[in-house]
Structure 1
Amino acid sequence: MQFGVFSVGDVTMDPTTGRTPSEGERIEAMTRIALKAEEVGLDVFATGEHHNPPFVPSAPTTHLAYIAARTQKLLLSTSTTLITTTDPVRIAEDYAFLQHLSQGRVDLMMGRGNTGPVYPWFGKDIRQGVPLAIENYHLLRRLWREEVVDWQGKFRTPLQGFTSTPRPLDGTPPFVWHGSIRSTEIAEQAAYYGDGFFHNNIFWNMEHTAQMVALYRRRFEHYRHGAADQAIVGLGGQVFMAPTEAEAKRAFRPYFDNAPVYGHGPSLEEFTRATPLTVGTPEMVIERTLGFADAVGDYQRQLFLIDHAGLPVETVLEQMEILGTEVVPVLRAEFERRRPAHVPSDPPTHGSLVAAGPDAPHHLVTPAQSASERAAARVGA
């Protein structure tokens, strides 16, 4: 199972000091967090994509390329790539380029974002958010899987004889997750293509998360990619840890109360009861996270948000040390102990996709076919 951290890249005042970091300081802090992730044995660092204050990560591939040059094993991902407002041609070329730079240590998560004004800034209509996500992603798949693309759709100018460059590393496109909190259409899209589904459940109760994951699993099986419990699932989470629960709450409460997203809303106690946010001891984080699999089934990727709401970078690095040394080793062992043999322990990686060969479903533009249909198509080719 993969464990890691993701950052939304907010520039937020530290409520305990009144100091707000500069944008440059925040970018440097995110870089230090990524490097720390590799140092403490985590698997993944993921960055968001935002184009509005108070967030800084407007160019994920630029940042991930810089991190790739300073790491050896860390998987580089996104916690949102805006498939609705970013040209699929730009995504195809940027992430294929990043594949080459990182020697395949990259995947990405498609999402629609959570900021309405972004749509008109990029010439799009938010009322077309879901159709944009569906059309743009299908074009992206073609750009990565077909050498020459002729295409005409609703939301961008036609393509005639177009070749995206560079081509994907080893002829193998990156693995894609589809991230959603509440859109059933996106869970359906992930299942249709046999891609991963990431439910970023940091604001929702586990009952809702379980319903969304269950829908994806049913549809994954419907499209004959495998049994429902073999579907590729990822979850988000939030943690803040200290030797005692009281100490953790005392330290984290000012940040929670003033956070740009949920500050001045529910109390810390209410929010921890209703969502996966865990503020307490490492043992509490372990118990809570293991409970996620009781709700949604065995899954393949767990990403934690720990660097938001104005927390000083040194505090975040301390949290990551605890996560990497006291929490994740126990979680790895426990998740694998309980996982059935037929359920994948990890999501696909560049290495595993290359090893599967060019005839694997991952290489098809539209892989939602039965094995017999795929075989018939190969015979008729």
Structure 2
Amino acid sequence: MQFGIFSVSDVTTDPTTGETPDDTQRVRSMLTIAQHADEAGLDVFATGEHHNPPFVASSPTTVLGYLAAATKNIILSTSTTLITTNDPVKIAEDYAMLQVISDGRMDLMLGRGNTGPVYPWFGKDIRQGIPLAIENYALLRRLWEEEVVDWEGKFRTPLQGFTSTPRPLDGVPPFVWHGSIRSPEVAEQAAYYGDGFFHNNIFWPMSHTKQMVNFYRQRYAQHGHGAADQAIVGLGGQTFMRKNSQDAWNEFRPYFDNAPVYGHGPTMEEFTATTPLTVGSPQQVIERYAGMRDHVGDYQRQLFLVDHAGLPLKTVLEQIDILAEEVVPVLRKEMADKRPAHVPADPPSHVDRVAMANQPASTQPTGA
């Protein structure tokens, strides 16, 4: 099973010092965080895509392209790439380029985005979010899978004899996750194509997450890609840890109370009771996240949000070390011990996908 971190790239004032990083400092801290996660032995670093303050991650492939050269082992991903406001031609080109540069050490998560003002900035209508996501992804797949594409749709100009370059590494497109919080249409899209489904449940109760993941699993099986429990699932999460639980609560509370994403709303006690946010000792985090499989079954990727709400870089790097040294090894073993042999332990790597592509057609799944 893969464990890693994701960044939403918020620029937030540290409520304990009053200091606010500028955009340059925040971008450079993200690079440091990703490199530290690689050195600590985590499996994945993912960056969001935002085009509005207080967020700075407007160009994920630039960040990940740099990290492809600056890291050794960690998988580089997104959380998410906007399939609605980005041109699918540009996504095809950018992520095939990243795939080549990283030698396949990447994948990407596609999502429609829910920040209303972003849509008109890119000439789109948020009311068309779902149709945009469906049409644009259908085109993206063709651009990766077919050398010459003739295409006409509703939301962009037609293509005639178009070839996207560079071509995917070894002729095999990157693995795609479809990220959604509340849209069953996105879960259906992931299931239809046999792709991964990522439920970033950081603001939601597990009852909702369970419903969304189960729907995806059922549809994955109905589309002929394998058994429901073999579907590729990822979850989001949030933690803040110290050796002593009360120390963690005392240190994190001012950051929680002032965070742009949930500050001035439910109390930290209410939020930790109803969402995956876990503030406490490493053992408490282990117990909470080991129990996720009881809700959604065996899954393949767990990403944690650790660099938000104005937390100092030093503190974020300490949180990564605690995750890597005290939490992930235990969770990895517990998940492996309980996982049935027929259920994939990890999402398919580039090597896995190349091997699958080279198999005779009769041995591959018969889905859509």
Q: What is the DSSP-based 3-state SS (H/G/I as helix, E as strand, rest coil) of the residue aligned with 2:237?
A: strand
CA distance in 2, matches of 1:103, 1:187: 29
CA distance in 2, matches of 1:246, 1:135: 49
Residue in 2 aligned with 1:212? Answer: 212
Residue in 1 aligned with 2:367? Answer: 368
CA distance in 2, matches of 1:87, 1:349: 26
Residue in 1 aligned with 2:126? Answer: 126
CA distance in 2, matches of 1:353, 1:346: 12
Q: What is the DSSP-based 3-state SS (H/G/I as helix, E as strand, rest coil) of the residue aligned with 2:239?
A: strand
Percent pairwise identity: 72
Aligned residues: 366
Give every structure 1 segment of 4 or more consecutive aligned residues whose post-TM-superposition deviation is greater than 6 Å: none
Residue in 1 aligned with 2:105? Answer: 105
> Does the CA contact (< 8 Å) of 1:194 and 1:367 recur in 2?
no
One-letter amino acid of the structure 2 residue matched with residue 368 of structure 1: G
> Does the CA contact (< 8 Å) of 2:34 and 2:45 recur in 1?
yes
CA distance in 1, matches of 2:351, 2:280: 37
Residue in 2 aligned with 1:311? Answer: 311
Q: TM-score, normalised by structure 2?
A: 0.98
String of CA shifts for 1:142-181, please: whole Å, max 9, x gaps.
Answer: 0000000000000000000000000000001000000000
CA distance in 2, matches of 1:26, 1:368: 43
One-letter amino acid of the structure 2 residue matched with residue 60 of structure 1: P
Residue in 1 aligned with 2:322? Answer: 322
Task: Rate the CA distance shift 1:360–1:138 in 2: closer, same or farther, 3 A.
Answer: farther
Residue in 1 aligned with 2:356? Answer: 356
> Does the CA contact (< 8 Å) of 1:192 and 1:367 recur in 2?
no
One-letter amino acid of the structure 2 residue matched with residue 222 of structure 1: Q
1:28 partnered with 2:53:
no
Q: How far did 1:113 drift? A: 1.5
1:301 partnered with 2:309:
no
CA distance in 2, matches of 1:80, 1:290: 25
Residue in 2 aligned with 1:339? Answer: 339
Q: How far did 1:258 drift? A: 0.3
Q: How far did 1:358 drift? A: 4.1
CA distance in 1, matches of 2:7, 2:360: 33
CA distance in 1, matches of 2:29, 2:293: 31
Residue in 2 aligned with 1:167? Answer: 167
CA distance in 2, matches of 1:123, 1:308: 30
Residue in 1 aligned with 2:179? Answer: 179
Give runs of aligned pairs for residues 1-381 of structure 1, distance below 5 A: 1-358=1-358, 368-369=367-368
Q: TM-score, normalised by structure 1?
A: 0.95
Q: What is the DSSP-based 3-state SS (H/G/I as helix, E as strand, rest coil) of the residue aligned with 1:76?
A: strand
Structure 1: gaps (5+ residues): 370-381
One-letter amino acid of the structure 1 residue matched with residue 183 of structure 2: S
> Does the CA contact (< 8 Å) of 2:172 and 2:357 recur in 1?
no
CA distance in 1, matches of 2:40, 2:132: 39
> Does the CA contact (< 8 Å) of 1:193 and 1:367 recur in 2?
no
> Does the CA contact (< 8 Å) of 2:49 and 2:57 recur in 1?
yes
Q: How far did 1:114 drift? A: 2.5
One-letter amino acid of the structure 1 residue matched with residue 86 of structure 2: T
CA distance in 2, matches of 1:164, 1:360: 26
Task: Rate the CA distance shift 1:359–1:136 in 2: closer, same or farther, 3 A.
Answer: farther
Q: How far did 1:244 drift? A: 1.5
> Does the CA contact (< 8 Å) of 2:224 and 2:366 recur in 1?
no
CA distance in 2, matches of 1:355, 1:65: 25
String of CA shifts for 1:35-72, please: whole Å, max 9, x gaps.
Answer: 11111110000000000000000000000010110111
String of CA shifts for 1:178-202, please: whole Å, max 9, x gaps.
Answer: 0000000000000000000000000
CA distance in 1, matches of 2:333, 2:125: 46
One-letter amino acid of the structure 1 residue matched with residue 167 of structure 2: R
CA distance in 2, matches of 1:92, 1:360: 26
Root mean square deviation, CA, Å:
1.2
Structure 2: gaps (5+ residues): none
Instruction: Say which is worse superposed, 105-114 or 1-10, in terms of deviation.
Output: 105-114
One-letter amino acid of the structure 2 residue matched with residue 283 of structure 1: Q
Q: What is the DSSP-based 3-state SS (H/G/I as helix, E as strand, rest coil) of the residue aligned with 2:291?
A: helix
String of CA shifts for 1:66-104, please: whole Å, max 9, x gaps.
Answer: 011011111000010000000000000000001111111
